[in-house]
Structure 1
Amino acid sequence: MKDKLLVWLSGDVLHFCMSHFLNKKFGYDINAIIDVPNKPKIFFQNQKFVDFQNVWYFHEHLKDLSKKPNLDYLKKFEKEYDINLQQLAINERIFYRFNDFYNFSSDEILNILEYECRLFEEIIDKAKPDFFLTPLTAFHHHQLFYEMCRKKDIKTLVIYMSKFGHRCVISQEVNKLDFEPQLNSFESMGRNFNELLDNFQSFNISKQIDDYKKSFGGSKLTKIQAVSNFLFYNYSTNKTHYTYYGRKRSKVVLNEIKKNNLVRNRKSFIDKKLLKKIPKNYKLVYYPLHIEQERNLLIAAPFYINQIELIRNIVQSLPIEYKLIVKEHPAQETREWRNISEYEEIMDIPNVFLMHPEVSSNEILKKSSLVITIGGTSGLEANFYQIPSIILSEMDYSVLPSTEFVNNIQDLPEKIKQSLQKKVVADDLDKFVQLYQKNSFEFDYMQFVSKYCGSFYYNGNLLDAEINAKDMKSFIDENQEIILKVTNEHIKKIEQFKKLSSK
């Protein structure tokens, strides 16, 4: 009996390319949820690359938002699936806080949730998938379906970038390795801290991000072509797509002008006011700011969205002789930086140094006694500098004895005292490096994103763009080796789950 696969297809074409080989080369039956704007939707309606069993175009099923939502149904759904719908909704960037074009009413949000829940129940009932293959969830509806699959014991294969650059992980839960591998299953290779740091830096994720930022957006000509396409060629209103509500052409253009001005003004403030030299002669604890509007907070750590309040909680938990050093994330520029008032509020907190985004994180680590992070790579990186860390959401590197997961913020003062006494053990770190490399594989996801953005989306400047079948064929042919490699990694994971379930 063939395994039944369900894939989530979006602007990220990786899973469509994999579906081509999974279907045509390996004979899998594939169902698909397609979550794209109107123009790329035309490609999916006419494509011949994959013989899908069933296809659901997500946005087609969100219809009348003016009706009264059925709260009894939603209440029953929450109880059956044990999913907090309010949490998903309040942390949806399109519904609240980050939407420049439309203000959703409470009933509109509840109606959208109701349509989604009913649709996803129908999909699971009809497709009856054995495995759900998906990129990292970014919006609430994607996360909702993922959580429903988990509740229904459908094996989920989520691909995401590892903490080591140019590598990826496939697992059921993000930042949690499958099958609970243990450090003691590995023997230390006897590497010292210098050797371990050299190894970590050879997979430099910061450089990988920098390379991606340089390629993203492309040349001025590409940007002009994207603007021209947007302004003059068949502007799609995407009336059924709630993510596009209120996005009239004139509003979008004016908003882009406004955002460019904001970036300029905020960067000017950052350059003038944020510290560019690390303060000397202080005992320091390091907290790196997370990017706003990203899943790492909105989905993965919804109770830590207010980072200013978290900074206050950290400061009041520090021993009296310590200061907190906070650094802006360089990639926050992609979200127009933060409001100037937020920087001022952080700078006004006693015993806090706010650092410029261009200050080297490595240099801060070298001068810190402890790193506290919600769930970023810095908590792992600290260990390579022989510095313990505290994380506020569970991560795959929490298996390290020198990394402490704090589940209750009220425990932070005591956990900080304990962590400051911890020593990082080279053998533990050596074992973790082996563990992680065994449970990940080489794949530069960011480079792949840059490639398909260049091929289909004007280097990321326009996502509602038509996709040409000839261009897709060329893209698949040119990248066949790497696509097949990632496809085989998914098949390998499928076989691991099947072997485990047969025992």
Structure 2
Amino acid sequence: MHGKRILIIQQRNWGVNIGHFLAKKLAKEGCVLAAVTYKKSAHEFHATQKDVHYEILINNDEVFEKPTRYVEGNPASLEAINQELGIESIWPLVAGSREITRSYAEKFYYNGRQQMSDEDIVRYVQGAYAYVRKIFDEFKPDAVIAPLLAEPSHLLISYMARMRGIKTLCAVDSRVNGVWILSESPYEDEGAFHERVDALNAGASSENTQRAEKYIAEFRKKLKIQDYLVRRWKTQPFFKRVRMELAPLRRIWEWYTRPHTDCIATLGPSLDCRPPRIILRDYFTKKLWSRTARSFSYYPQESVGRYVYYPLQVEPEVTLDVFALYFKNQRELARIIALSLPADYTLVVKDHPDMLGFRPPEYLKDLAGTPNIKLIDYRIPSETVLKGASLVIAPNSTAMVEAAMHHIPVIQFGEEGIILKLPNVLKHTDPSTLSACIKERLRINLKTPEYERRLKNFVAAAYDTGFELDYISAWEDAKEDEREKIWDMYRAGLDRIL
């Protein structure tokens, strides 16, 4: 590791709580470091800390405000950018940024209209490309470490690294509870885990096969909810709930008494930059929408006959904006699925619990009022819905993993590569042939020895190549012991690719 040159995407609070910890470990190993930071207050932390030295330290927010900051001469044309990155167009990269493609100023929780003009978007991409190329030309990284790959500049870095034969490591949930793995691509479809699944399916053996069998057996007895979801849905202590209720008043006070460090002039209001009117709008709108969702007249699940299940996804989120770019309109996708079902099937739709208070009442009404769609209560456990489902269809979803454990076939519209390694999942992207695909999937028999073997291989591969840790507590709470485990994971990943 000594002398290796590592570029770290120091993303917002991840960069402060995890990324900086990794940087210190890498520096101690003798690595040379560079970083791109996101969020001005986070950049200030990295710029003023004394623990590590960065040969190059660039703040992406600065490029939002001044796209020409790193441009020398004329900015690169979009054609030149596409060619150097090995892509067809920059526009799919832009879709991953909620700040660019949706307006927070006009509506809670974002509306569908872009917040930057096309001309400003192009200038930003050209500016980000200029600093990314500067890093690769001058710093010449041997590897890239990232918390996620969603923002346009993340993807610029990832694609330029790929074109230059450099790997990007990104920690992702293996979908086996408590196990995290390293992905080497924006779509989570490359890395040690994927190679291991393929090897096991081809006949290799694993020391974790019995452990995988036990995991699957326990899952079938009782649904294993991912650790980070348990943490998110857990009832908060009383004092914390009080703090959350009073938070808008604190934020308004801070607006008038502190500098607006994280505001970006070219973007206007955002989650990091909310003037008092936006704070109050968000607070009361979320309260109203939460009340509406709780009291909504959902269709009783027990009254549904034969059905296909569509679990709605959180949005905006990378699972839609990057992995399922062409299927991110979930209402329209639900309508298309409902139209494509056999005559004796209906489409059951359930919202994601994390979207409570973030969807307008009209959204729920429109879904519930669409032919052959039954919108059921978001509070019904996923396991209960799956037990009655003949098929699961979605852009991407954790429910697809749960379906695998219960021999339920799945159609996935998105590109998310970990899910596609499950033996019950088929990728399908053509709405015009969806009806035939659904009929075929409804006829398939998954209760076979080969299916069980491949399902065990999926779980065993996660244990073989992954690391058991509480990633979210390390991210949100900076827990030292969990950060040590994350370092072990990245250290192993770097040993693999360097």
TM-score (ref. length: structure 1): 0.83
Per-residue CA deviation, residues 128-158 of structure 1 (Å, 9 max, x unaligned), is 0010001012422223322222232211101
Could you tell me which of 48, 54, 58 is aligned with 1:52?
Answer: 54
Distance in 2 between residues matched to 1:72 and 1:27, nearest whole Å: 35
1:175 matched to 2:188? The reply is yes
- How many Å apart are 1:265 and its aligned residue? 2.5
- How many Å apart are 1:21 and its aligned residue? 1.2
Per-residue CA deviation, residues 25-53 of structure 1 (Å, 9 max, x unaligned), is x221111112222x343322221111223
Any gaps of 5 or more consecutive residues in structure 1? 453-478, 499-503
Q: Is the contact between residue 297 and residue 305 of structure 1 (CA under 8 Å) also seen in structure 2?
A: yes
- How many Å apart are 1:203 and its aligned residue? 8.7
Deviates most, 395-404 or 323-332: 395-404
Distance in 2 between residues matched to 1:211 and 1:151, nearest whole Å: 39
Q: Against the structure 1 CA distance between its residues 221 and 283, is the aligned structure 2 distance closer, same or farther, given a 3 Å change threshold? A: closer
Q: Secondary structure at the match of 2:33?
A: strand
**Equivalences for residues 336-351 of structure 1 within 5 A:** 336-351=357-372
Distance in 2 between residues matched to 1:249 and 1:177, nearest whole Å: 33
Match of 1:489 in 2: 489
Distance in 2 between residues matched to 1:113 and 1:90, nearest whole Å: 12
Match of 1:94 in 2: 99
Q: Is the contact between residue 95 and residue 325 of structure 2 (CA under 8 Å) also seen in structure 1?
A: no
Distance in 2 between residues matched to 1:359 and 1:21, nearest whole Å: 44
Per-residue CA deviation, residues 40-79 of structure 1 (Å, 9 max, x unaligned), is 4332222111122322222334454699x97862222123
Q: Is the contact between residue 266 and residue 339 of structure 1 (CA under 8 Å) also seen in structure 2?
A: yes
Match of 1:438 in 2: 464
1:290 matched to 2:313? The reply is yes
Per-residue CA deviation, residues 71-91 of structure 1 (Å, 9 max, x unaligned), is 862222123323321222345
- How many Å apart are 1:372 and its aligned residue? 0.9
Per-residue CA deviation, residues 107-132 of structure 1 (Å, 9 max, x unaligned), is 22221111111111111111100100
Distance in 2 between residues matched to 1:33 and 1:111, nearest whole Å: 18
1:263 matched to 2:286? The reply is yes
Distance in 1 between residues matched to 2:271 and 2:370, nearest whole Å: 41
1:429 matched to 2:455? The reply is yes
Distance in 2 between residues matched to 1:131 and 1:80, nearest whole Å: 18
Q: Equivalent pairs: percent with the same residue?
A: 21
Q: Secondary structure at the match of 2:301?
A: coil
Distance in 2 between residues matched to 1:203 and 1:51, nearest whole Å: 46
1:408 matched to 2:408? The reply is no
Distance in 1 between residues matched to 2:118 and 2:68, nearest whole Å: 11
For these two proteins, the number of residue pairs brought into alignment is: 467
**Equivalences for residues 299-318 of structure 1 within 5 A:** 299-318=322-341
Match of 1:450 in 2: 476
Q: Secondary structure at the match of 1:125?
A: helix
Q: Against the structure 1 CA distance between its residues 339 and 239, is the aligned structure 2 distance closer, same or farther, given a 3 Å change threshold? A: closer
Could you tell me which of 279, 295, 301 is aligned with 1:272?
Answer: 295
The letter for the 1-side match of 2:34 is: N
Any gaps of 5 or more consecutive residues in structure 2? 107-113
Q: Is the contact between residue 277 and residue 359 of structure 1 (CA under 8 Å) also seen in structure 2?
A: no
Match of 2:111 in 1: none
**Equivalences for residues 246-261 of structure 1 within 5 A:** 246=269, 252-261=275-284
- How many Å apart are 1:285 and its aligned residue? 0.6
Match of 2:152 in 1: 140
Match of 2:39 in 1: 36
Q: Against the structure 1 CA distance between its residues 163 and 403, is the aligned structure 2 distance closer, same or farther, given a 3 Å change threshold? A: same
Deviates most, 209-218 or 381-390: 209-218
Q: Against the structure 1 CA distance between its residues 193 and 352, is the aligned structure 2 distance closer, same or farther, given a 3 Å change threshold? A: farther
Q: Secondary structure at the match of 1:31?
A: strand
Distance in 2 between residues matched to 1:250 and 1:193, nearest whole Å: 49
The letter for the 1-side match of 2:23 is: S
Distance in 2 between residues matched to 1:220 and 1:20, nearest whole Å: 37
Distance in 1 between residues matched to 2:414 and 2:172, nearest whole Å: 17
Distance in 2 between residues matched to 1:195 and 1:484, nearest whole Å: 26
Q: Secondary structure at the match of 1:50?
A: coil
The letter for the 2-side match of 1:210 is: V
Q: CA RMSD in A?
A: 3.2
1:74 matched to 2:72? The reply is no
Q: Against the structure 1 CA distance between its residues 220 and 281, is the aligned structure 2 distance closer, same or farther, given a 3 Å change threshold? A: closer
The letter for the 1-side match of 2:288 is: N
Q: Against the structure 1 CA distance between its residues 348 and 247, is the aligned structure 2 distance closer, same or farther, given a 3 Å change threshold? A: closer
Match of 1:6 in 2: 7
The letter for the 1-side match of 2:471 is: Y
